[in-house]
Amino acid sequence: MSKTPRSTTQCDSLLAGYDAGEYFCEMFGRRGLSHTRAVRDRLNGLDIATLRRRAREAENELFNLGITFTVYTEDKAIDRVLPFDVIPRILSTKDWQTIETGVKQRVAALNLFLYDIYHKQQVLKDGIIPEELVTGNPDFRPEMRGFDPPQGTYVHVCGTDIVRDDKGNLRVLEDNARIPSGVSYVIENRHLMMRAFSDLAQGMPIANVDEYGSRLAKALSDVAPAGVSDPTVALLSPGVFNSAYFEHVFLAREMGAPLVEGRDLVVENDKVYMRTTDGLEPVHVIYRRIDDDFLDPETFNPDSLLGVPGLFRAYRKGNVTLANAIGTGVADDKAVYAYMPRIIKYYLDEDPILANVDTNICREPDGLAKTLDHLDELVTKPVGEAGGYGVVVGPRASKRELNTLRRKLKNDPANFISQPMIKLSVSPTLIGRALEPRHVDLRPFALTGKSTWVLPGGLTRVALKRGSLVVNSSQGGGSKDTWVLG
């Protein structure tokens, strides 16, 4: 017997049973995408048992490396690995160029918008966006008015959540302009993938992701206070109990920067110092991974034990730079999001390169009426929640859930937006003994000091539950390596 039929059988077993159904598939597209052909061929050379074994090894390695996030129950802390799927998500160069330029455009608009609303507020005076939505927003920080951050940059690190609809169009789902996380997984996933599947990647022109740490250090040095030529940059973390602590460690290491907590910092004469074995040492730039509210108990939440008393005074005096700036939360608000196309047009006089998802703003009577009329068809989101909490997917919600939502909407319409249900694209994902379609999104990371740079690819999150559209790690999501293939 010749060996050929056997390998054909294996080939059939791996991708032949795969059916993306009504969704756009990142691997096959509508008719089979040419840029993924080589990967598909190589995948077909593997059998399911090998794939499963390697996936298991990869997962063990994640655990051993301690690439975990911590889940706290009543009496103990459990380390969990963010599930890693071994089938890469592949972006064509053409798609990537669209994403890269689109993200840069958005970040530029966000920074101009933030500068404006903390200075002349021309965008409000010109009626582009309702004033109340901005100045009435809990994340608008009046303390920031009239303050000039170095380089005019507010959003130094931006994570833009992008999805692809059933037509294959890329759309922005939300901007994360506060403390976007997940970039460490992009880089660790790549390392893991190169170790476990070097044969799959061999000789492929995959865009490199290892530059991120040095690019971040550079961007943060760019925004040092005036007159500081060789700034000390520190990463401020809430500490080991924070679920993203692994990422803080990772980034501090990649930058070669000290990883500090509030208790390591002290403010004297409006200057920030850290306590070292050689005494107090000045700090010029702080990449902070602590929310605005907890940064400085003197200015914000007085109960915060994580922050540094006096930090805001030092910041306002220009003696230290915070990245991201304080008060960026108003720009990535889910309600402000709806105005982003108009904001882009207003400041840049350009059409958005990446489209928004159509959004009904429930604070507006029209938007509320539309939402209430089509509650069972729309995805309704509270504007003040992160991590996918409180999202109701109309077509999949029970009558009771919809009734509860209807009541909440009527009580507090300003707290909600609604969007048509996007049929998120899918990507083949190893589930049990087969490759099945699972929904994915994409979060590219943009760094802005003097100029903006976007890490090629980004974090692909995948909803591992069959049919689920929620990709968040707190809700059963996993991640994939993301390849930009030239």
Partner 1 sequence: MAKSNLLSRFAANTYWLGRYLERAENLARILDTNETYARDTSGGANWQRVLDLYSDSARFHDSYDTPDAESVLNFYILDGDNPTSIISAVSRARENARAVRHLISTEMWVQLNAFHYRLSHLTRRDIWLTNIAQACAGIRLDCQTFEGVAEGTFFRGETWCFYQLGKYIERADQTTRVLDMGYDQLHGEDGDAVAAVNRDVLLRSVSGYHAFRSRYPSATTPQDIAIFMLYDEQFPRAVTLCVNYVTARLQDLEKRHGGIREIDLEKSRKSLVFCLETGLGHRVTSRRLHKFLDDLQIALGQVSDAVGKAYFG
Q: Rule CB under 8 A: which residues touch partner 1?
A: 63-66, 217, 220-221, 230-234, 240, 245, 249-250, 252-253, 255-261, 263-264, 274-278, 281, 284
Q: Which is nearer to partner 1, 249 or 386 (CB)?
A: 249
Map tokens 């996380």 to a residue.
181
Q: Which is nearer to partner 1, 257 or 331 (CB)?
A: 257
Does residue 454 contact residue 444 with C-beta atoms inside 8 Å? yes
Question: Strand pairing partners for 436?
Answer: 429
> Please, what is the minimum distance in Å from the beta carbon of residue 257 to partner 1?
7
> Please, what is the minimum distance in Å from the beta carbon of residue 285 to partner 1?
8
> Please, what is the minimum distance in Å from the beta carbon of residue 64 to partner 1?
5
Q: Tokens at residue 19, please?
A: 């059916």
Q: Which is nearer to partner 1, 321 or 425 (CB)?
A: 321
> Please, what is the minimum distance in Å from the beta carbon of residue 190 to partner 1?
15
Q: Which is nearer to partner 1, 100 or 247 (CB)?
A: 247
Q: Which is nearer to partner 1, 274 or 357 (CB)?
A: 274
389: how many CB neighbours lie within 10 A of its CB?
13
Q: Which is nearer to partner 1, 274 or 331 (CB)?
A: 274
Q: Report how far Cα 327 is from the mean position of its chain's Cα atoms.
A: 18
H and E: helices and strands count for the chain: 16, 23
Let me know the angle formed at the C-alpha of 321 by 316 and 324, rounded to the nearest 5 degrees: 105
Q: Which is nearer to partner 1, 110 or 235 (CB)?
A: 235
C-alpha torsion 71→58→40→424, nearest 10: 0
C-alpha span between 252 and 287 (Å, rounded) = 10
Let me know the angle formed at the C-alpha of 178 by 177 and 180, rounded to the nearest 5 degrees: 80
C-alpha span between 434 and 203 (Å, rounded) = 27
Phi and psi for 117 in degrees, rounded to 5? Answer: -70, -20
C-alpha span between 124 and 122 (Å, rounded) = 5
> Please, what is the minimum distance in Å from the beta carbon of residue 224 to partner 1?
9
Does residue 469 contact residue 424 with C-beta atoms inside 8 Å? yes
Q: Which is nearer to partner 1, 67 or 484 (CB)?
A: 67
Question: Strand pairing partners for 157?
Answer: 447
Q: Tokens at residue 272, please?
A: 């920030």
C-alpha span between 1 and 473 (Å, rounded) = 48
